[in-house]
Amino acid sequence: MRPRLQEIVVDCADPAALAEFWGGLLEARWAVRDESWAMVDADPLLLAFQRVPEPKSSPKNRLHLDVQVADAGVAIARATARGARVLREPEVGPGGDGYVVLADPEGNEFCFVIDNGGTWTASIRAALDAAPEPPA
């Protein structure tokens, strides 16, 4: 078996609250393992939340999640009702595709990506197809 990503782990203050937020946002199963660890079944990966003692010290994340949605307005309404906040106005083109930057209840940034035309995903796949194979 080749190495593969198993999960993405987010450091946080309240793992259970973030697992509930992200589980609801992704309409996915979520569970709390113990007071320091919770996870969401974000198939094909797990999204995990790990309690850490230090607070988030920078307003900018070095990693963020892109969540593909069909309708930015509906997704934003659902997310903000769960405690998210919009950080910037949506960047959506005339065809309806684009993105919007939000933050979860602990300030972790994420984007809703609208790619109903498939052009963004197709361009990424084309670039991957054109790349040389990694050495074995």
Angle 75-77-78 (CA atoms, 0-180°, nearest 5)? 65
Q: For residue 135, what pLDDT is reported?
A: 66
- Please say if the pLDDT value at position 41 is more than 90: yes
- Please say if the pLDDT value at position 116 is more than 80: yes
Beta-carbon count within 10 A of 22 CB: 25
E strands in 21-80: 30-34, 37-42, 45-51, 65-68
Domain architecture of the chain: domains with CATH: 1-54 (3.10.180.10), 63-131 (3.10.180.10)
- The CA radius of gyration of the chain, in Å to the nearest whole number, is 16
The conformation of residue 135, written as its DSSP 8-state character, comes to: P
Q: For residue 67, what pLDDT is reported?
A: 93
